[in-house]
Amino acid sequence: MPHEGLWQQLVELDGQKTARRAKCRYITNPDRYIVTLLQNSYVVNLAGREIFSAEPGSPLMPAGFIQQLCILAYLINAKDLPVADKLVRAESLSGGQFFFRGPHSLPTDKLEQAFGNQPDRLYEAAKQFDAKRCEFGDASVQLYVLPRIPITAVVWRADEEFPARASILFDQTAAAQLPLDALQAAVNLTVDALVKAVR
């Protein structure tokens, strides 16, 4: 079973306390959580050890491997902390200087390719995720990938002198809410969703 170790950790936790930490819902009979990931609702069924989307009017669909990783790691690790409202780069997070390299680099190139020539398209893409406009770069938005994890995407327009640039920023509390591997996975989901929204 995918993520068996994470499931084992989750089923041993107190459901009500976990829901409070993670800002989600816990329902009994059968025991399950309702978690929002990128504005989509997912049911985490503890007895069946399965996660599926639960959007009204849509058929139940199993969550993908990466969605499952993000949701399970979040439920296990989330802290009942308010956001610090202080943005930092990935390298400034605890352990981030060494983790976010090579294969773990953040996918800023995808943002540059999708929005570098037309940064305003980032605002259009972000509408469906209830994103907030920010004042960085030529276009920037902040959206919640999970209830306690905002991610900020910034794009600078390509011009005759410089290629497009992009940056991804985190709230200072991000590493307290998710392990770095799951945080990287959450960023990948977010960027892929934004890019897909403008295709």
44 and 35 in contact (C-beta within 8 Å)? Answer: yes
User: What is the model's pTM?
Assistant: 0.94
Distance between CA 116 and CA 138 in Å, rounded?
Answer: 9
- Residue with structure tokens 């049911």? 43
pLDDT digits (tens, 9 = 90+) for 100-149: 998 899 999 999 999 999 999 999 999 999 999 999 999 999 999 999 99
Domains defined along the chain, listed by start: 4-77 (no CATH), 87-197 (3.30.310)
Output the pLDDT for position 60: 80
Output the pLDDT for position 57: 72
What pLDDT band is residue 1 in, cutting at 50, 70 and 90?
Answer: low
* Residue-by-residue DSSP string for 110-176: HHHHHHSS-TTHHHHHHGGGT-EE--SSSEEEEEEEETTEEEEEEEE---SSS--EEEEEEETTHHH
What pLDDT band is residue 198 in, cutting at 50, 70 and 90?
Answer: confident
109: enclosing H helix or E strand:
helix 108-115
Q: Between vectors from CA 139 to CA 136 and to CA 145, what angle results, nearest 5°?
A: 85
Residue 49 CB contacts under 8 Å (≥ 6 apart), including other chains: 1, 7, 11
78 and 177 in contact (C-beta within 8 Å)? Answer: yes
From first CA to last CA, the distance across the chain in angstroms is 33
- Reduced to 3 states (helix: H, G, I; strand: E, B; else coil), residue 70 is helix
